[in-house]
Chain A
Amino acid sequence: MLELIDVAIKFGRLQVLQPTSVRFERGKTTVLIGPSGCGKSTLLRIMIGLVEPDQGQVLIDGQPLTPASVLSLRRKIGYVIQDGGLFPHLSALDNVGLLARHLGWTRLEVRSRVEKLAELTRLPQEALAKYPAQLSGGQRQRLGIMRALMLDPDVILLDEPMGALDPLVRYDLQEDLRKIFQTLGKTVVMVTHDMGEAGFFGDRVLLLGSGCIVQDGTLDELIAAPADDFVRRFISAQRLPGLNGKEVAP
């Protein structure tokens, strides 16, 4: 599935990511969490080839990510960003079906696939004819997810997908999304800075701090046995329900 081997990157003199190796297991949801600037988004961007690492290798299905392979490998990965990243000049349907159409799908094939995805993500069918500017934030995000699922990729990467949504919309979407991930059995890597979200989605949580993975485990393990003082402070700062006022295990 998805593996990083000894990947590191500097922006100027700043070591954004220390040499890091990590494997993401098939069918599991892994959450990358950490404070701003810890390198979690950079890690995700390296996996899709938006950023080229100074060293190390990314393997997707055992195939190394290179300039020559990046285009075809990207099509095996769905990528979701905040607010969906929809193109304003295309209707919802055309946004979701853009790549498929480009790859030669017929209009009919695209339409039936998109309608199925709308059902899966609980997007009202009438929203498909509308333009992004006419849709709500939650609908745009559902479309972003549909677009990522369009070619039925094995891997889904999500970069703070709920960041721009208000709490109620967010709550619904989280529920739906977890159900989708579980049903489809995708390999999911999600970046968030929200501990609650991390616990809700993550079979596994990677906590990053200043460019390296500080702790790798389940959320329970992180709370029960923080690897160091940084992890402890990070978890305490999140005001998790049930943790309120209580000390994280020393």
Chain B
Amino acid sequence: MNTLLRLSAVAILAAGTAAAQEQKPLVRVGSKASIENVILGELLTHLVNSSGAEARHRAALGGTQIAFQALTKGDIDVYPEYTGTLTAEILQGEQVRSDEDLRAALARRGLSLSRPLGFNNTYALGLPDAAAKRLNLRKISDLARPEHAGLRLGFSEEFMNRADGWPGLQAAYQLPHRPKSLDHSLAYRGLAAGSIDLTDLYSTDAEIAYYKLRLLEDDRGYFPEYHCVLLFRNDLANRAPQVLAALARLEGAIDNAAMSEMNTRVKTDHIRERQVAADFLASKLGMKVELRREPNRLWAATQGHLLLVGVSLAAAVLIALPLGIWSYKWPRLGHGIMALVGIVQTLPSMAVLACMLTFLPIGPAPAIVALFFYSLLPIVRSTLTGLKEIPNHLKESAIVLGLSPRARLWLVELPMASRSILSGIKTAAVINVGTATIGSLVGAGGYGDAILAGIRLVDIPLILQGAVPAAVLALLVQGGFDLLEPLVVPKGLRLAAGKS
């Protein structure tokens, strides 16, 4: 007996040590939703994996706030950010003037930043290289020369209106031009077609190489600097020091031309971000990156999507059904309930997701909660309508029979309202399938990943890879509910409906 105990204790210990040795530290990499950021996220992922840790990439998070919040809460460990964004947007109002200020402000949040990776993705003014040569334009201050007063400037709406955009630029360089505003993506075509001479752009845009543009030097240092840095949690140094050393290899390694080229390969050559990142690491750092086979995206996306829709819908049914019943039993309370779920319905999905992120980790949870909220209205309303529409003489019939209120609800009223309730659940489910695509803004997975990536990459086939299965799933859900109807709606009701 004693021996047996001792043996098993040894076995457990051995198993435990083996597991501990096997266990690689998990490092969660984040990236914001732009081509450049996803490439950078893939670079980090490769580096983390090569350092012996296990990387998980939460790609294409839906904005600066979401990514930064995820980092401070510990949903992710590291993500690429820009110094200008840090000072002007994230730490706005904290009077960050120097590098020391910045590091101190981050340290208060348990965060650190790497040295710059090398490129500065700031606003710039650009024009076709040939025209620049002909006009002898090198610096922004050259534009102030009288012979260039007739140049046609076309700027994006945002640039025209931002304080650090055109208004400030015009004042800083004393420029005489009257630019017109146009969509950023049209600006490049305008340059190529010759309908405008010069536009604003980001200094690592993929189009710079494609359209052979020259960027004018900001010789008075007007534009704020947007140096790319890695933002990471301080606890990473304890958990996985080798990872930090690996990531540090990117410091100073990516100049504007290299970043712009990677962007071009993804955007115009349609090469996947992880491939582009691997190629860069191979050529620049001599790293051999083994690209793991990607799991079947469609199947994983389908599973993710079903999880979002299924869980949110089930929770909504559990909550909305009683809400609908209470609204029916107590009409005054019902007005309040209907008003509340109506308001919930009008909240913008981004706002709901952002709110959820304050107390839920990125991933499926915040998306499920948001979808749950959006499912309430159709189910509450259909329950209320179904119960209200029961003819009065039948409600009274149940009363005079001597059934208790509870028995009336379960034996008469709910069965009679079943068709209406089911149709409300069906509506909620179908809407959910569509709405669940926003989940990928918070790393929830599902078909939205392909759709958002497709939008980011202007890649219609990729958009369809998400949109078509979503549409098919919506049809299947609809069909499924139609098959469910005979099981849920009593036969007598269907006969009665057929007759009338």
A88–B496 CB distance below 8 A:
yes
B residues near A13, Cβ cutoff 8 Å: none
Q: Complex: how many Å from CA A131 to CA B411? A: 16
B411–A98 CB distance below 8 A:
yes
B residues near A79, Cβ cutoff 8 Å: 400-401
A132–B402 CB distance below 8 A:
no
Question: Which of these binds chain A: B74-82, B244-252, B486-494?
Answer: B486-494
Known: A85-B393, A85-B396, A102-B411. A90 touches B492 (CB 8 A): yes
A133–B401 CB distance below 8 A:
no
Q: Complex: how many Å from CA A91 to CA B493? A: 10
Asked if A136 CB lies within 8 Å of chain B CBs, one says no
**Residues 465-500 of chain B: 1 if any A CB is under 8 Å from the residue's CB, otherwise 0?**
000000000000000000000000011110110110
Asked if B144 CB lies within 8 Å of chain A CBs, one says no
Q: Complex: how many Å from CA A164 to CA B499? A: 18
B492–A74 CB distance below 8 A:
no
**Residues 49-80 of chain A: 1 if any B CB is under 8 Å from the residue's CB, otherwise 0?**
01000000000000000000001101101010
Known: A50-B396, A98-B411. A88 touches B401 (CB 8 A): no
CB distance from B465 to the nearest CB of A (A): 44
A residues near B411, Cβ cutoff 8 Å: 98, 102
B residues near A74, Cβ cutoff 8 Å: 399-402
Asked if B404 CB lies within 8 Å of chain A CBs, one says yes
Q: Of the candidates B398, B496, B498, which one forms a contact with A132 in the assembled complex, judged by CB atoms under 8 Å apart?
A: B496
Asked if A48 CB lies within 8 Å of chain B CBs, one says yes
Q: Complex: how many Å from CA A147 to CA B400? A: 11
Q: Complex: how many Å from CA A82 to CA B30? A: 70
CB distance from B364 to the nearest CB of A (A): 38
Interface residues of B in 357-410 (CB under 8 A from A): 393-394, 396-404, 407
Q: Of the candidates A91, A99, A102, A131, which one forms a contact with B496 in the assembled complex, judged by CB atoms under 8 Å apart?
A: A131
Asked if B313 CB lies within 8 Å of chain A CBs, one says no
B400–A89 CB distance below 8 A:
no
Known: A85-B394, A131-B491, A133-B495. A99 touches B416 (CB 8 A): no
B404–A147 CB distance below 8 A:
no
B402–A133 CB distance below 8 A:
no
**Residues 165-198 of chain A: 1 if any B CB is under 8 Å from the residue's CB, otherwise 0?**
0000000000000000000000000000000000
Q: Of the candidates A71, A77, A98, A131, which one forms a contact with B495 in the assembled complex, judged by CB atoms under 8 Å apart?
A: A131
- Interface core residue of A72, A98, A133 (most chain B CB under 10 Å): A133
A residues near B492, Cβ cutoff 8 Å: 87-91, 131-133
CB distance from B263 to the nearest CB of A (A): 63
Q: Complex: how many Å from CA A71 to CA B404? A: 7
Asked if A127 CB lies within 8 Å of chain B CBs, one says no
B403–A90 CB distance below 8 A:
no
A residues near B416, Cβ cutoff 8 Å: 87-89
Interface of B, secondary structure class, is: helix
Q: Complex: how many Å from CA A82 to CA B490? A: 24
A residues near B394, Cβ cutoff 8 Å: 85, 87-88
A residues near B491, Cβ cutoff 8 Å: 89, 131
- Interface core residue of B396, B397, B415 (most chain A CB under 10 Å): B397
B residues near A89, Cβ cutoff 8 Å: 415-416, 418, 490-493
Nearest A residue to B498, CB-CB: A133
Nearest A residue to B415, CB-CB: A89
Known: A85-B393, A85-B394, A87-B412. A50 touches B496 (CB 8 A): no
B residues near A81, Cβ cutoff 8 Å: 393, 396-397
Q: Complex: how many Å from CA A99 to CA B412? A: 11
B495–A85 CB distance below 8 A:
no
B residues near A87, Cβ cutoff 8 Å: 394, 397-398, 412, 415-416, 492
Q: Complex: how many Å from CA A75 to CA B400? A: 8
Q: Complex: how many Å from CA A227 to CA B403? A: 42
Asked if A134 CB lies within 8 Å of chain B CBs, one says yes
B415–A99 CB distance below 8 A:
no
CB distance from A26 to the nearest CB of B (A): 21
A residues near B393, Cβ cutoff 8 Å: 81-82, 85
Known: A87-B416, A89-B416, A89-B492. A48 touches B400 (CB 8 A): yes
B residues near A82, Cβ cutoff 8 Å: 393
Q: Complex: how many Å from CA A85 to CA B398? A: 9
B401–A50 CB distance below 8 A:
no
A102–B407 CB distance below 8 A:
yes
B396–A133 CB distance below 8 A:
no
Q: Complex: how many Å from CA A77 to CA B402? A: 9
CB distance from A149 to the nearest CB of B (A): 12
A71–B496 CB distance below 8 A:
no
CB distance from B401 to the nearest CB of A (A): 5
**Residues 85-112 of chain A: 1 if any B CB is under 8 Å from the residue's CB, otherwise 0?**
1111111000000110010000000000
Could you name 12 residue pairs across A and B whose Cβ atoms are closer than 8 Å?
A50-B399, A72-B402, A75-B402, A85-B396, A87-B416, A88-B394, A88-B416, A98-B401, A99-B401, A102-B403, A131-B492, A133-B498
9 closest Cβ contacts across the A-B interface?
A: A85-B397, A131-B492, A89-B490, A74-B402, A75-B402, A79-B400, A88-B496, A133-B496, A133-B495
Known: A50-B400, A87-B492. 7 other contacts (CB 8 A): A74-B399, A81-B393, A87-B398, A87-B416, A91-B492, A98-B403, A102-B403
